[in-house]
Amino acid sequence: MRLADRMSRLGTETAFDCLCRAKALECKMDVVHLEIGEPDFDTPGHIREAAKKALDEGYTHYGPSAGLPELRAAVAKYSERLRGVHVNPDQVVITPGGKPVMAFAIMAMVEEGDEVIYPNPGFPIYESLINYMEGTPVPVRLREERDFRLDAEEIASMVSPRTKLIIINSPQNPTGGVLTREDLRLIAETAVKHNIWVLADEIYSEILYEGKFESISQFPEIHERLIILDGFSKTFAMTGWRVGYGIMPVQMAEKLARIQTNMNSCTSTFSQRACIDALTGPHDEVDRMVAEFRKRRDVIVKGLAEIPGFRCKLPFGAFYAFPNVEGTGIDCEVLAHRLLEEKGVACLAGTCFGKYGDGFLRFSYANSVKNIAKALERIKELISSS
């Protein structure tokens, strides 16, 4: 098969491969799914009803590339409430999930040799897309002893004349780390000083267990070089609906909308109508989900910490636990493989999130307390028999 060279540079998200393998194993053993990063809850009823109504009202056609004006306006208002910063609806671009914001932003600004600083361990698609677009990935290590918060001073020391973009993600996948207001202030200062864009992946903005959500957008000096990524997948348990959005300077929004015209024309219109209800309707189901995630977090972190050779930081947001397993003496990739094949516990090796994830495992606790307890028992069995 003759393919473009760039295909050899495209990475992947191993969670989807692991999910496939785990599903295949299900015909011969019971599998506990702690691999994929999606809420196990159903989308709240009022959102589903809004989608049905939208279908009956004829929202089955193409819409504007940047998104339905009513949803762009609802996102602007919601974001103002969440982040405390004024947003003009023209700054909002609606996309099929949050992921395209990453791809489109990197496509719009990264040229051959441009450097992009990004968290490692981190969401694997950042590195994949940087490589695909011929940029130079510059990973900044997230350290367990800093509760997996990026070190803003380290970022400043990595800046070069070729640095085009800094990607941040808080609350973070895979570690659950959360950046403080001071961390964000320092990162904003660096970006402004060197005229660098920032892509702030805030997809887990509402899944936070301590304090209030802090966004880098609170620093007005960064606004002309900031793209915020957020969406509906995680907060409203809507992964399959494929709706996300970016908030950015109006001129950049026009560019992203043009890329969208080229790539997928627009985002599903009846899904967008339902998203208006997600943002303006009752919030109690989201609150219930977050309370349930908190309970599960406490169960899994305590359980993991009791396993010989494991130690686990308390995640402050998102729904992932990221224990250090070096003390087991087993390579993390081998351990993830054995857990799935021998014990039916599907989880990911830290290296799925980059080289600095070595020595760790990632467990998504978007599963019931009962299943988490079952997984913990099985992990204990495997470790004690190894």
Ligand X SMILES: Cc1ncc(COP(=O)(O)O)c(C=O)c1O
Residues that bind ligand X (CB under 6 A): 37, 97-99, 123, 169, 173, 201, 203, 231, 233, 239, 244
Give min distance, CB of 95 to ligand X, in A: 8
Task: Considering the complex, state which of residue 197 and residue 236 has its C-beta at the smaller distance from ligand X.
Answer: 236
User: CA angle, corner 237, sides to 314 and 32, nearest 5?
Assistant: 60
Task: Considering the complex, state which of residue 203 and residue 275 has its C-beta at the smaller distance from ligand X.
Answer: 203
**Residue whose pair of structure tokens reads 């709706």 in the numeric block:** 243
| DSSP labels, 318-358 | TTEE--B-GGGTS-HHHHHHHHHHHH-EE-EEGGGG-GGGT
Cα dihedral 115→121→126→129 (10° resolution): 80
Give the H or E element holding residue 32. strand 32-33
Give min distance, CB of 87 to ligand X, in A: 19
The residues that bridge with 229 in the sheet, in sequence order, are: 201, 246
Distance, in Å, from the CA atom of 184 to the CA atom of 29, rounded to the nearest integer, reads 46
Task: Considering the complex, state which of residue 97 and residue 323 has its C-beta at the smaller distance from ligand X.
Answer: 97
Task: Considering the complex, state which of residue 123 and residue 148 has its C-beta at the smaller distance from ligand X.
Answer: 123
User: Residue 222: which residues within 8 A CB-CB, separation 6 or more?
Assistant: 188, 191, 192, 198, 216
Indicate the residue whose CB is closest to ligand X. Answer: 97
Give min distance, CB of 126 to ligand X, in A: 9
Give min distance, CB of 377 to ligand X, in A: 27
Task: Considering the complex, state which of residue 63 and residue 100 has its C-beta at the smaller distance from ligand X.
Answer: 100
Measured in residues, the chain has a length of: 386
Task: Considering the complex, state which of residue 296 and residue 343 has its C-beta at the smaller distance from ligand X.
Answer: 296
| DSSP helix/strand/coil, 154 | helix
Give min distance, CB of 55 to ligand X, in A: 22
What is the greatest pairwise CA distance in the chain?
60
Task: Considering the complex, state which of residue 109 and residue 383 has its C-beta at the smaller distance from ligand X.
Answer: 109
Give min distance, CB of 129 to ligand X, in A: 12
Positive or negative torsion for Cα 88, 89, 93, 99: positive
Give min distance, CB of 201 to ligand X, in A: 5
